[in-house]
């Protein structure tokens, strides 16, 4: 099982630049070009849940972790 950690994009101030941008673009590319290789796209449920998590379109593969 492959789990991809998305918590870098959860920063309200910096979630769309730097490392967060790299994490987001890599997640999108993996989903688009290698369908099914990532089983879970995980976000940290102790950090703010930002709208950009929903924009990925990962559906039920987007899950929280503690």
CA distances from 51 to 17, 54, 62 (A): 15, 6, 13
Integer Cα distance of 5 and 27 in angstroms: 9
What's the whole-number mean pLDDT along residues 45-53? Answer: 91
For residue 48, pLDDT over 90 is answered with: no
| 22-40 pLDDT per residue, tens | 999 999 999 999 989 999 9
Integer Cα distance of 5 and 3 in angstroms: 6
CA dihedral 37, 3, 48, 52 (to 10 degrees): -10
The token pair at 17 is 């630049």
For residue 49, pLDDT over 90 is answered with: no
């Amino acid at each position: 099982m492959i789990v991809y950690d998305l918590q870098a994009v959860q920063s309200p101030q910096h979630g769309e630049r730097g490392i967060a941008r790299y994490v987001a673009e890599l997640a999108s590319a993996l989903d688009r070009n290698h369908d099914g290789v990532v089983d879970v796209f995980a976000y940290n449920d102790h950090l703010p849940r930002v709208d950009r998590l929903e924009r990925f379109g990962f559906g039920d593969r987007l899950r929280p972790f503690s």
